[in-house]
Structure 1
Amino acid sequence: MSQLTTAERDALPDDAFALPGRRYPIPDKNHARDALARASEMLHQGRLSQEEHDTIIKRAKAVLGE
């Protein structure tokens, strides 16, 4: 899993996150792949809505060029 320091995360622009509230950072392909995996996991645990999940998938795939 890709790690960001607090300073690195704080330095990211808002559009580098898949969800409002600066949730699910996807500034690069490694983080996009991690977001894809975690989003499905969180959806199945009931911690994300279907709409949030779909948004993360769409944004992560865009970063990955898919």
Structure 2
Amino acid sequence: MAKLTTARRNRLPKSAFALPGSRRYPIDTKARAANAKARATQEVKKGNLSPSTAVKIKAAANKVIRKKK
């Protein structure tokens, strides 16, 4: 997975994030989508993220992961 610099992250469209309003959890690649799912699970376990928000993140990430090239 290539490093996501601040400049590149800022250029990503809202659709490239699992939570577009807050621009959190980038899902522009399959690898980042898989990582977003893992981070969401971790944050729920820590109590920093609601389970319903994690479901939204995982659904958005799954769309990217299952997309055919």
Tell whether the structures are fold-level matches, with TM greater than 0.5.
Answer: yes
Equivalent in the alignment of 2:65: 64
Structure 2: 5+ residue stretches without partners:
none
Whether the aligned pair in 2 keeps the contact of 1:2 and 1:34 (CA below 8 Å) is: no
For normalisation by structure 1, the TM-score amounts to 0.90
Matches within 5 A, 1:1-66: 3-19=3-19, 20-65=21-66
Q: Deviations over 1:8-36 (max 9, x none)?
A: 10010011111121011100101001011
Aligned-residue CA RMSD (Å): 1.6
Alignment length, in residue pairs?
66
**% identity of equivalent residues:** 44
Which structure has the larger Rg over C-alpha atoms? 2
Structure with more relative contact order (C-alpha pairs < 8 Å, separation 6 or more) = 1
Distance 1:43 1:14 in 2: 23
Structure 1: 5+ residue stretches without partners:
none
